[in-house]
Structure 1
Amino acid sequence: MLSYGSYIGGTEQPGHQWIYTLRASAMLDDFFGAIRLKRGLERGRVPLDEAGTDVVGRCATADADDMNVALELAAGAARTWAAAPLERRMRVVEEFHDLVRTHHDTLVDLMIAEGHPRALARWEAAGMLANTGAATRSFLAGQMRYTAYDGPRTLQVRRVADGVVCLNPPQNATVANALLGIWALAAGNALVVRAPRSAPLGVMYALRELIAPALERAGAPAAALSVLCSDARGTLDQWLASPLVDDIMYFGNSEQGIAFGAECVARGKKPVLELAGNDICVVWHDADLDLAAEALAEAFYGSGQICMVPNCAVVHPRIADELLARLRERASAIRPGPPEAPDALLSPVLRPDKFYDVLGQATETGAELVCGGRRLDVRGRPDDTRGLFLEPTVLRVNGLKTARNLDAVRHETFFPLLPVAVPEEADDAELLVAVADFINTNEYGLRNSLWSGSERTVDAFLRLIRNGGLLKVNDSHIGFLPLLPTHGGTGLTGGPGGEANYPILRTSHLQGVSVARGVRPGAAVFAQAGPDDIDVQEVSA
């Protein structure tokens, strides 16, 4: 069994009580029995030697005093680490990448234990590797500094670390999002991470066994990293109040996140917001319909409780019936199961009443239920009273105006529910403009995608779409790629100033530098403008 105390500035500290992690499959098999065991362990009523094999590990909780120590150590380490050469800081990411490969299977197993279906846990691990691979490292190192020469001057535009970055990961994907902090460290910041009390073990393992050794191998100060399992609201309030905190990376829903971002600004902190997605996928009449249906079925992965899955499809009216038939077939093949099962893709949905509210509003407004809509047990059998899973559900909505007024389309739903909007027949050029307006007026903007076999349609789509942090064409909507961002977006996804999020850039700031030799200040002030062409030398790690 894994056991972690608080990790404060490079040392393990005892906690105040233990939070135990039980296998998610044990919860599915006997929910109330598993809860009794968990509470018994945490309250000292069940001896640890009687816990059994369903207990995966435990994490110690931290209090405000522990967090204060972590912040003080981080502030001291940030000054030292920010001054380290970029090459050494980028080495941390390279070492981390290698450690993810080494620990891949254990990392995947921990995510499965915390409830992630096996296939999706492997997808998350693949994202960690793509996000830290050689191509991505090279590109981002080049973004960190640019050097040119103008006569006796060396000119540089560089990015400088903000200082102390605090990271609060979401409950649905704690490990993958906590590990984005590796890029805040590469920028030269110190990092303090809150491991959520609802799922702390994977975060503790990942940062202790992957990031901490990577820092050590690169010669970083140990105090540059702290990881504590603590209360959410109390920790966020403490970060906001602390003069030592510079940036806060916050993951959550848009309503709370936008308000929290405003509070950050009022307290002098830089918010880096990762909020709701509500992505749109467009399928044009000349698309490969089999591949498009396969991509749309990603909407149901994790029961739609992944921010970057398609939340709405817009399908050309000429091929709508044919595509919906293929999508119905794919949706019906996606079944629940214990997270260890190799073919399981659905996760439990704890608030099915909200799903039925959204579904009811849509059907009462005229949407057609294509398939799905039932509660299922872990074996895929209908169970309208106790089923923890929801059947993948497809809606057909005729008209973009009707679609825009549905909650299933206007907001991220976090259910295995895909509304398919079918616009009215129109000239292709006119229709594409209408679809682009539909996407650009989406209040959210994580990523959008298109399926089309026409270069002209693809070019027009790329010219017209301003919404979103990532656009993908004829590709998996959720697949990770080297170089491209995995997070970030516009509107209610990233808040004011939101865009594609490379954390190494979002947790640093631009600074211009001029180093001159033999320059007379007076001559520099009153000299005529020099030539436009200067000797440029781009420098990368």
Structure 2
Amino acid sequence: MKNVITTIDPASGQPLQAYEAWTAQQVDQAVDRAHAAAAAWGRETLAARVAAIARLARQLRAQKDRFARMITAEMGKPLAEAAGELEKSAVTAEYYADNAARLLADEKVAIDGVDAWVSHEPMGLILAVMPWNFPVWQVMRCAIPALAGGNGILLKHSPNVTGTAIALQGLLQDAGLPAHLLTTLVVAEPEVPGTIERLIEDDRIAAVTLTGSNRAGAAVGAAAGRAAKKSVLELGGSDAFVVLDDADVAAAAAMAVKARFNNAGQSCVCAKRFIVHWAVADEFTQRFVAGAQALVVGDPSHAATQMGPLARGDLRDALQRQIDQSVAAGGRLLAGGHALPGAGFFFEPTVVADARPGMAVFDEETFGPVAAIAVARDEDDAVRLANATAFGLSLSIWTASAERGIRVARSITSGAVFINAMTASDARLPFGGTKKSGYGRELAGAGIREFCNMRTYWVAGRR
């Protein structure tokens, strides 16, 4: 009996579609085709690759509504948020279409008597293991720079967004990119760990990138190390949102609601731990709780909905455990705290006060709509609490003084800092983490070069 992947509508809990999982032989044949496509693509001129990326941007916009409906059906985010993934991906494609030639240009090196330079050349076929929470954006964030750099993509997407994953393969062909240049694998959940390990060992795979859990990242990183292959890991996050005593509290609280509850809180780079100076803690908490309670939770296909369901039932159960354990450890429940009754995987926007190290909502990554508020005695205590995490993805600091915010940020470990703004990703800036949030960078110049061979040329006697 063949394995079957069944996608589920998280708003209703009902099955959407069944997909027959591939055999090991089918996977091997797909890798062969993808490897050949990547090799041919790497021989294309940069001008041809850039033109293809520009066409991809146009297709992302042309098919925005279609993909938004698929994303909403398979993982439950509101339609407007789903459509935003396509637009952000299109903007990113335009950035690389406009800048790839500059980012990949040879770098001349002045050495007497020698013609020397560094080039950035394609690596080959990149295995991309991607998560479900941003089904299009996560793939495009990785794939667009890799493709612009002359590589191919072998995509292992999450089973619960299989329909979107297969459609992405077609999207590239609609944009006129070669067949198999992005190849989507359809692998049953029990077969995923073994399949990924075999693929990383395979000589046809040049490198691997993963966005996902720390457990998956540890397995992929270890396998890549054994195979002596390049890897990029974008893992969990428990980002601090630090509100200092001179902050505009109303602005901070309003943005905090968006920063936490966007995508129902299912983002590695969502603000999760709200560390607030005691002098403004009461006002911030009051405003934040009111904003959380005002969110419209419901059918993600309705225009008025601001927060949809969690993507799966097991995610809802894990969130409930984290909340219950934290309340038992002394956390105060100020809003929410429970799954909503009825069909689907809906959960109340939740706020836990008196959070501290040692509590699940503070120590663990909470992948859902729960915010942990911790009160800091002073600036130094805010720094201590912000650093009291195994993660180090991003950081948001709110203060009337940009200089103060930058000074405080330099004492807190993270891959990015946002002063008086919520964390976001932008094609013009590198994205990635520190500590258990992973290593390597996506986007900007760093992202396109991650999967290029930085090759030294030394030519003696050339005239």
Q: So what's the TM-score if we normalise by structure 2?
A: 0.87
Does the aligned pair in 1 maintain the 2:214–2:436 contact within 8 Å?
A: yes
Q: Secondary structure at the match of 1:338?
A: coil
Equivalences for 1:22-41 in 2 at 5 Å? 24-25=10-11, 28=12, 31=13, 34-35=14-15
Closer/same/farther in 2, CA of residues 346 and 21 from structure 1, 3 Å limit:
closer
| Separation in structure 1 between the aligned mates of residue 419 and residue 460 of structure 2, nearest angstrom | 47
Paired position in structure 2 for 1:448: 395
Paired position in structure 1 for 2:371: 418
Closer/same/farther in 2, CA of residues 444 and 138 from structure 1, 3 Å limit:
farther
Amino acid paired to 2:287 = R
Q: Secondary structure at the match of 1:343?
A: coil
Q: Does 1:484 align with 2:432?
A: no
| Separation in structure 2 between the aligned mates of residue 254 and residue 21 of structure 1, nearest angstrom | 24
Match of 2:313 among 350, 359, 372: 350
Paired position in structure 1 for 2:161: 199
| Separation in structure 1 between the aligned mates of residue 100 and residue 251 of structure 2, nearest angstrom | 32
Q: Does 1:360 align with 2:324?
A: yes
Match of 2:220 among 238, 260, 263: 260
| Separation in structure 1 between the aligned mates of residue 153 and residue 427 of structure 2, nearest angstrom | 24
Paired position in structure 2 for 1:227: 184
Q: Secondary structure at the match of 1:133?
A: helix
Does the aligned pair in 2 maintain the 1:248–1:270 contact within 8 Å?
A: yes
Counting matched residue pairs gives 450
Q: Secondary structure at the match of 2:175?
A: helix
| Separation in structure 1 between the aligned mates of residue 184 and residue 396 of structure 2, nearest angstrom | 36
Paired position in structure 2 for 1:184: 146
| Separation in structure 2 between the aligned mates of residue 149 and residue 481 of structure 1, nearest angstrom | 30
Deviations 1:364-413 (A, max 9, x none): 333222222132136xxxxxxx7732211112226xxxx12222111201
CA drift of 1:228 comes to 2.6
| Separation in structure 2 between the aligned mates of residue 154 and residue 142 of structure 1, nearest angstrom | 20
Deviations 1:86-140 (A, max 9, x none): 3332333222112111111112121112122223213322331333233x55455
| Separation in structure 2 between the aligned mates of residue 274 and residue 413 of structure 1, nearest angstrom | 16
| Separation in structure 2 between the aligned mates of residue 214 and residue 292 of structure 1, nearest angstrom | 41
Equivalences for 1:42-81 in 2 at 5 Å? 59=19, 61-81=21-41
Equivalences for 1:261-410 in 2 at 5 Å? 261-297=221-257, 298-344=259-305, 345-348=307-310, 350-351=313-314, 352-377=316-341, 388-397=345-354, 403-410=356-363
CA drift of 1:340 comes to 0.1
| Separation in structure 2 between the aligned mates of residue 183 and residue 81 of structure 1, nearest angstrom | 14
Paired position in structure 1 for 2:386: 439
Q: Secondary structure at the match of 1:246?
A: strand
Equivalences for 1:107-256 in 2 at 5 Å? 107-114=67-74, 115-134=76-95, 137-139=97-99, 141-148=101-108, 150=110, 153-179=114-140, 180-209=142-171, 211-216=172-177, 221-231=178-188, 232-256=192-216
Q: Secondary structure at the match of 1:127?
A: helix
Q: Does 1:457 align with 2:404?
A: yes
Unmatched tracts of structure 2, length 5 or more = none
| Separation in structure 2 between the aligned mates of residue 421 and residue 214 of structure 1, nearest angstrom | 48
Q: Secondary structure at the match of 2:408?
A: helix
Q: Secondary structure at the match of 2:136?
A: helix
Does the aligned pair in 2 maintain the 1:370–1:393 contact within 8 Å?
A: yes
Amino acid paired to 1:312 = R
Structure 1 window deviating more from structure 2 (356-365 vs 260-269): it is: 356-365
Closer/same/farther in 2, CA of residues 141 and 311 from structure 1, 3 Å limit:
farther
Does the aligned pair in 2 maintain the 1:118–1:339 contact within 8 Å?
A: yes
Q: Secondary structure at the match of 2:161?
A: coil
Does the aligned pair in 2 maintain the 1:283–1:451 contact within 8 Å?
A: yes
Q: So what's the TM-score if we normalise by structure 1?
A: 0.76
Identity within the alignment, %: 25
Unmatched tracts of structure 1, length 5 or more = 1-15, 36-54, 379-385, 520-541
Amino acid paired to 2:455 = Q
Q: Secondary structure at the match of 2:165?
A: helix
CA drift of 1:341 comes to 1.3
| Separation in structure 1 between the aligned mates of residue 66 and residue 123 of structure 2, nearest angstrom | 33
